[in-house]
Amino acid sequence: MQALHFGAGNIGRGFIGKLLSDAGIQVTFADVNQQIIDAIATRHQYPVNVVGEQSTTEIVKNVDGINSTSNEVIDYIAKVDLVTTAVGPQVLARIAPSIAQGIVERHKQGNTKPLNIIACENMVRGTSQFKQEIFNALPQQLHHWVNNHIGFVDSAVDRIVPPATSKTGDILEVTVETFSEWIVDETQFVGIIPTIKGMQPVDNLMAFVERKLFTLNTGHAITAYLGFYHGIGTIRDAILNEKIRLIVRGAMEESGLVLIKRYNFDEQKHMAYIEKILNRFENPYLHDDTSRVGRQPMRKLGAGDRLIKPLLGTFEYQVKNTNLLIGIAAALNYRNSDDEQAVELAKLITEKGVKHAFCQIAGIDVNNSIVKQIEEIYTTMQNRQFT
Q: Is 6 among the annotated ligand-binding positions? A: yes
How many angstroms separate the Cα of 44 from the Cα of each of 32, 81, 375?
A: 17, 20, 54
Q: Is 12 among the annotated ligand-binding positions? A: yes
Q: Is 5 among the annotated ligand-binding positions? A: yes
Q: Is 304 among the annotated ligand-binding positions? A: no
Q: Is 152 among the annotated ligand-binding positions? A: no
How many angstroms separate the Cα of 246 from the Cα of each of 229, 253, 281?
A: 16, 10, 14
- 82-85 vs 2-6, strand pairing mode: parallel
Q: Is 11 among the annotated ligand-binding positions? A: yes
Distance of CA 349 to the CA centre of its chain: 27
Q: Is 14 among the annotated ligand-binding positions? A: yes
Q: Is 10 among the annotated ligand-binding positions? A: yes
- Sorted by sequence, the CB contacts under 8 Å of residue 124 that are 6+ apart come out as 209, 213, 304
Per the annotation, binding residues are 3-14
Instruction: Write out the binding residues for NAD(+).
Output: 3-14
